[in-house]
């Protein structure tokens, strides 16, 4: 009897011990994950930016190839069309062009790639692309291309094999989980479904099911991506716009307690570090659609990152005729960026291909010109969305159209007589917008306003690269700030004032301090009175700089 009791007691103790060890294993696992996340944060904190010194500054021009210029007459824009319009781009004064996706894809937009080593057949041949690169170089224009590697198309050979053969090496090119995985019910950053069912398992697709996400915990995937990037750099592209840069390790895709934000920053640092060994002049700009705190660490990894919040603030200020807090917010943003890497290159813009166009949000020529003034006074690399310089309109469409109507054809001539017009989508929305042909002949056109701004910007180092400092003028409650460069041999101090209101603004600039007027958006604005919705930029004589920079 005693032996039976002893066996029962021993059995119970064993069960209790087993349960206790299970809880301990869970606690140990959670603790380990937290430690790993802390280690990742520490790695990002101590990350050596290790950028190779090169000059990437200038204005960039975003092109949706399908809509820009059609050289073969099929109604679809192509590489030859861009080649023929290269003189227009050079005359505009830009530093470089950003081509939206141009790899082979089953969709009109190209953000679901099926072949990373071939160009989209609608846009021409590889020879056409290479010719475009050569002509761009002749005109002194850099070319960066959209690199979409967060995900592939579901028609990509890698994914087809991944979903159909669990023993294939390509299975692990994507992230697959079973229904009992802790991540199964997790949602993405904007509460979207990110897990998609196929054949008894679920795969990650952060944006949509036909765009399955690559698994960057797989070293082979990383190498595949580096090989793709190397291939096009060898062809002659100058860099990349990195699509969905903050979602490579996506919220809800990685296990809980894993610091996906730090993993993203570290991956892009690894990506740039490898590529710049062979291509030291490479330029990378990231799409990190978030706030300054989230964006700032990426400046340790990428040369530039798009400034989404400044875009929103510029448009809101112009709409309201009031930019309250604008300069203080800029100081805050630059402080955050500067705390991570002092050589950061901001990438401000007004709108892009995923947003309603600026001309559909603002409603007068004066408003469009003021928004452009505000954009081009900012340091870094401003980005123009093709046709923005004309006032092209575009808004989100309904079911089945979505962003097509934000990516409408460029308008080269009023009667569509230019042989390079694209016609893949009927462009009724822009029938009353003056064309390139018309605007070039009008010195007061929006196009010539853009050309003038870019020219002035290119000629003044403080506009292009200068440091920013909010400035207060007595009696002036409008955005006022200083842009200054203390680079040896290129010292320059500029005072910038935007009158956002619909009323004249009285200002008081000591004429003795003024070296010259750099930019005046209105002929009747003076050093004492500014016209409504106008901008004034004056250069301060260096003898008086200490009265402004303290």
Distance, in Å, from the CA atom of 298 to the CA atom of 283, rounded to the nearest integer, reads 14
Distance, in Å, from the CA atom of 444 to the CA atom of 470, rounded to the nearest integer, reads 30
Count of Cβ atoms closer than 10 Å to residue 328 Cβ: 12
Phi, psi (degrees; rounded to nearest 5) at 468:
-110, 140
**Residue tagged 């699509």 (tokens):** 243
Tokens of 300: 């340790």
Distance, in Å, from the CA atom of 236 to the CA atom of 136, rounded to the nearest integer, reads 10
Distance, in Å, from the CA atom of 63 to the CA atom of 20, rounded to the nearest integer, reads 61
CB 118 within 8 A of CB 232: no
Distance, in Å, from the CA atom of 296 to the CA atom of 335, rounded to the nearest integer, reads 9
The neighbouring-strand residues paired with 98 are: 62, 144
Closest among 187, 185, 247, 243 to 213, alpha carbons compared: 247
Distance, in Å, from the CA atom of 533 to the CA atom of 497, rounded to the nearest integer, reads 11
Q: Considering just the CA atoms, what is the radius of gyration of the chain in Å?
A: 27
Secondary structure (DSSP) of 375-414:
HHTSSS--EEETTTTTT------STTTGGGGGSPPP---T
CB 204 within 8 A of CB 253: yes
Half-sphere exposure of 527 (CA within 13 A, CB side): 15
Catalytic residue among 142, 287, 388, 531: 287
* Size of the chain, expressed as the number of residues it contains: 550
Tokens of 382: 């401003």
Secondary structure (DSSP) of 74-108:
SSS--HHHHHHTHHHHHHHT-SEEEE---EE-SSS
Secondary structure (DSSP) of 112-131:
S-SEEEEE-GGG--HHHHHH
What b-and-e string marks burial along 404-429, b requiring 16 or more CB atoms within 10 Å of the CB? bbbbbbbbbebeeebebbbebbebeb
Tokens of 543: 């003898």
Pairing of strands 467-470, 480-485: antiparallel
Count of Cβ atoms closer than 10 Å to residue 60 Cβ: 24
| 287: annotated active-site residue | yes
Distance, in Å, from the CA atom of 227 to the CA atom of 242, rounded to the nearest integer, reads 15
Helix pair angle (219-235, 260-278), 10° resolution: 40
Catalytic residue among 62, 243, 389, 531: 243
The 8-class DSSP code of residue 299 comes to: G
| 281: annotated active-site residue | no
Would you name the residues annotated as active-site residues?
Answer: 243, 287
């Amino acid at each position: 009897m005693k032996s039976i009791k002893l066996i029962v007691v021993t059995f119970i103790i064993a069960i209790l011990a087993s349960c206790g060890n299970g809880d301990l294993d869970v606690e140990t696992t959670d603790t380990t994950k937290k430690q790993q996340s802390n280690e990742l944060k520490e790695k990002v904190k101590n990350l050596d930016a290790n950028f190779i010194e090169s000059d990437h500054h200038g204005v960039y021009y975003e092109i949706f190839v399908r809509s820009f210029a059609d050289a073969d007459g099929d109604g679809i824009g192509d590489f030859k069309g861009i080649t023929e319009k290269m003189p227009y781009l050079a005359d505009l004064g830009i530093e470089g062009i950003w081509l939206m996706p141009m790899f082979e894809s089953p969709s009109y937009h190209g953000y679901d790639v099926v072949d990373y080593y071939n160009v989209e057949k609608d846009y021409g041949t590889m020879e056409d692309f290479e010719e475009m690169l050569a002509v761009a170089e002749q005109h002194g224009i850099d070319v960066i291309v959209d690199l979409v590697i967060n995900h592939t198309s579901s028609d990509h050979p890698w994914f087809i094999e991944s979903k159909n053969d669990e023993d294939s090496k390509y299975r692990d090119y994507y992230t697959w989980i079973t229904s009992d995985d802790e991540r199964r019910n997790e949602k993405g950053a904007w509460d979207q479904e990110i897990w998609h069912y196929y054949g008894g398992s679920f795969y990650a697709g952060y944006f949509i099911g036909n765009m399955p996400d690559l698994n960057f915990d797989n070293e082979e995937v990383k190498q595949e991506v580096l090989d793709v990037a190397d291939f096009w750099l060898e062809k002659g592209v100058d860099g990349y716009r990195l699509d969905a840069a903050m979602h490579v390790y996506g919220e809800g895709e990685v296990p809980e307690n894993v610091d996906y934000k730090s993993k993203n920053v570290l991956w892009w640092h690894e990506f740039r570090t490898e590529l710049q060994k062979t291509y030291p002049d490479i330029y990378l700009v990231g799409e990190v659609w978030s706030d300054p705190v989230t964006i700032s660490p990426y400046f340790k990894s990428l040369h530039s990152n798009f400034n989404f919040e400044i875009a929103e603030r510029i448009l809101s200020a112009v709409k309201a005729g009031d930019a309250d807090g604008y300069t203080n917010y800029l100081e805050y943003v630059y402080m955050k960026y500067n705390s991570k890497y002092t050589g950061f290159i901001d990438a401000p813009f007004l709108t892009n291909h995923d947003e309603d166009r600026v001309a559909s949000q603002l409603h007068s020529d004066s408003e469009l010109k003021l928004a452009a003034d505000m954009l081009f006074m900012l340091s870094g690399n401003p980005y123009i969305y093709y046709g923005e310089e004309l006032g092209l309109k575009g808004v989100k469409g309904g079911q089945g159209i979505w962003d097509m109507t934000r990516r409408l054809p460029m308008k080269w001539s009023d009667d569509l007589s230019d042989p390079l017009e694209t016609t893949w989508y009927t462009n009724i929305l822009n029938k009353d917008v003056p064309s390139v042909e018309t605007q070039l002949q009008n010195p007061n056109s929006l196009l010539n306003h853009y050309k003038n701004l870019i020219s002035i910007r290119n000629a003044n180092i403080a506009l292009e690269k200068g440091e920013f400092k909010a400035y207060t003028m007595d009696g002036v409650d409008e955005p006022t700030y200083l842009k200054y460069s203390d680079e040896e041999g290129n010292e320059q101090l500029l005072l910038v004032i935007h009158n956002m209101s619909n009323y004249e603004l009285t200002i008081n600039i000591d004429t003795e301090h003024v070296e010259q007027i750099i930019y005046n958006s209105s002929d009747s604005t003076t050093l004492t009175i500014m016209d409504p919705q106008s901008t004034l930029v004056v250069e301060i004589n260096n003898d008086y700089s200490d009265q402004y920079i303290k």
